[in-house]
Structure 1
Amino acid sequence: MMKKAIPLVTIVNAGHHGYESGLKLQKQLSNQKAEDWVNFRNYLILQQHDPVYTIGIRTKNYSDADEQRLRKLGAEFFRTNRGGLITFHGPGQLVAYPILHLHQFHPKMRWYVATLEKTVIETCRKMGIPQATTTSDTGIWVGNNKICAIGVHGSRYVTTHGIGLNCCTDLRWFEHIVPCGIEGKGVTSLSNELQRNVCVEEAAKVFVRCFAEHFKCQIQEKVQ
């Protein structure tokens, strides 16, 4: 029996750009023949966004009036095909989009989400936050405060969207929404928990190492 090949994932450091640019990059990289999973090229996009509120496929309690209210704050607003409710992305937050063909890893979305959660939890622990964990609510939590939002999409075993890990994010942006539709809970960041400034670049390095470990893959940097 042939041993399964170790998947290769190419890191794409996309820098800081608008949310629409991130979506276009995601579409460009995921636009491959899903049936040819052996030759599918896997990517991990690392980026920061300009201030933006996004809603997933569950649009509960958010109307056009709410959209206009949020836009007046100086943020963009997008409706997407990811899972989950409303969240915020902005400067100081690591937004990571894994573009993977799960047949090269494990062909189950439940496994994928659980492994993504373990990757974020291990990232937090390696950075000095051992209490980061999952709960019955989506995302990664430190006590009653969410430190990382998770909203993914899968089609024909190809994953898009991903996570938003608060590093040194201005958490006041979250005061204008009920993050991910969860009442009575708050948000936090790596900087807030560690009482020092944690930049996105620092967190990204740890996240990539943990990603390689939990997804059991090889990592290479994209040549520009």
Structure 2
Amino acid sequence: MNRSITSHSRYCLLYNLGLMPYIDALEWQRSLLQERIKNPNLEDVLILLEHPPVYTLGQGATPEFLKFDLDNNTYSVYIVERGGEVTYHCPGQLVGYPILNLQRYRQDLHWYLRQLEEVLIRALARYGLEGERITGFTGVWVQGRKVAAIGIKVSRWITMHGFALNVCPDMTGFERIVPCGISDKPVGCLAELIPGITCDEVRANIAQSFAEVFDVELVTADPHGNLPTIKV
């Protein structure tokens, strides 16, 4: 699928997927990034999915934030190229991986992080929840609890990795780490405030907020490689 964008429209392919092993999504992101470094005219991409239980550490992450032995454990753990400390992914957490060419937007990483936060804040507002930023930190909080983590990697102004929103996950996995290296601010999820909420219903709100914030037209893409057909 190598349909190039035109100079008149800014499209972003939306892959709205289910549960995918972390390593598969990671290799897919790396492939998409390299393709766009070679051909910057390729469309931007937004991947929305969930992962089986997995811990990930960013470059330079602090092992002391793990409450288990990194070299002797039964958990799935990956050290990856994103920024940030250790985090946890599991079903019930909606993960978004934007593969964007920031030369189309703004070549400013701080701006990009704030835009990702804005996507999440707008999506939360659709449920009457006030998402908040905390000065000096990256992510989104609701009522003092961190509900969304953000970690990115940018190469040649092409982005990968992204955000993770705790919708209705099993929160016990967070007990084995100091999430994002922040020991004095608890993590939370939307289900604590909106019982019965699911990732499936949140996906549409995230997609709509993403389209608004980045001023793109989302086009639903076929994960099997066929040309996109459904506009969102």
Equivalent-residue separation in structure 1 for 2:8 and 2:106 (angstroms) = 12
Q: Deviations over 1:61-97 (max 9, x none)?
A: 347962246x43xx31000110100000000000100
Q: Following the alignment from structure 2 to structure 1, what is the Cα–Cα distance between the partners of residues 119 and 192?
A: 20
Q: TM-score, normalised by structure 1?
A: 0.90
In structure 2, the residue matched to 1:221 is 220
Match of residue 94 from structure 2: 94
Partner of 1:26: helix, strand, or coil? helix
Following the alignment from structure 2 to structure 1, what is the Cα–Cα distance between the partners of residues 182 and 67? Answer: 20
1:206 maps to 2:209: no
Contact 1:55 1:78 in 2 (8 A): yes
**8 Å contact kept, 2:94–2:199:** yes
Letter in 1 for 2:113: V
**Amino acid aligned to 1:100:** L
Matches of 1:47 and 1:200 in 2, distance apart?
9
Q: How does 1:184-195 map to 2 (within 5 A)?
A: 184-194=184-194
What aligned pairs does 1:6-155 form with structure 2 within 5 A after superposition?
6-34=9-37, 36-37=39-40, 39-62=41-64, 66-68=69-71, 71-72=73-74, 75-130=75-130, 132-136=131-135, 137-155=137-155
The offset of 1:60, in angstroms, is 1.4
Name the CA distance, whole Å, in 2 between partners of 1:168 and 1:59: 26
Structure 1 runs (4+) deviating above 6 angstroms are none
Q: Which amino acid aligns with 1:30?
A: L
Question: Residue 35 of structure 1: CA displacement?
Answer: 6.3
What are the ranges of 5 or more consecutive residues in structure 1 without an aligned counterpart? none
For each residue in 1:107-156, what CA deviation from the matched residue of structure 2 results, as whole angstroms up to 9, or x when unmatched? 221211111110001111112212x1110222101133110000011111
Q: Which residue of 2 aligns with 1:197?
A: 196
* Higher alpha-carbon deviation: 196-205 or 82-91: 196-205
Structure 2: runs of 5+ lacking an equivalent: 1-6, 225-232
Query: For the residues of structure 2 that align with 1:6 and 1:104, how far apart are their CA atoms?
Result: 11
Q: Pairwise CA RMSD of aligned residues? A: 1.8
Instruction: Tell me how far 1:59 sits from its aligned partner.
Output: 1.7
Q: In structure 1, how many angstroms separate the alpha carbons of the residues matched to 2:89 and 2:37?
A: 29
Deviation string for 1:155-180 (max 9, x for gaps)?
11000000010010111111111000
TM superposition score normalised by structure 2 = 0.87
Post-superposition offset of 1:51: 0.2
What is the identity, as a one-letter code, of the residue corresponding to 1:154?
A: V
Count of residues paired in the alignment? 215
Q: Do the aligned residues in 2 keep the contact of 1:34 with 1:40 (CA within 8 Å)?
A: no
Between the aligned partners of 2:23 and 2:68, the Cα distance in structure 1 is 21
Please give the alpha-carbon distance, in whole angstroms, between the structure 2 residues aligned to 1:220 and 1:33: 18
The one-letter code matched in structure 1 to 2:10 is P
Give % identity.
33
